[in-house]
Amino acid sequence: MTVQDEAAADGGALEVWIDQDLCTGDGICAQYAPEVFELDIDGLAYVKSPDDELLQDKGATTPVPLPLLADVVDSAKECPGDCIHVRRVADRVEVYGPDAA
């Protein structure tokens, strides 16, 4: 079962956010999912809005488009700073990332 299948089975929309305090600036996330992540001039990664706007507020979230879910999950798994958090919108439970159960 793919991560897209799992998300569809759970029936919930997902969102992602980055903890910049832990970000190492390696840019792995932007390589996996440039539509969702971007490095800013400060060298840290941030999420982008669906309109491609960089979201720099602390704890800013953006929806995870289902076609990009596997790339976002891979970003969270490969992130050396363990700073990428993917959670369900409905109950804010982390499903991928360092705090996932």
* DSSP one-letter string for the chain: --HHHHHHHHT--EEEEE-TTT-----HHHHH-TTTEEE-TTS-EEEE-TTS-EE-STT--EE--GGGHHHHHHHHHH-TT--EEEEETTT--EEESTT--
What was the pLDDT predicted at 101? Answer: 78
For residue 12, name the pLDDT band (cuts at 50, 70, 90): confident
Global pTM?
0.88
Average pLDDT, stretch 13-42?
A: 97
Average pLDDT, stretch 30-41?
A: 97
For residue 16, name the pLDDT band (cuts at 50, 70, 90): very high
Say yes or no to pLDDT of 1 above 50.
no
Say yes or no to pLDDT of 8 above 80.
no
Please tell me which residue, 5 or 60, carries the higher pLDDT value. 60
Please tell me which residue, 13 or 12, carries the higher pLDDT value. 13
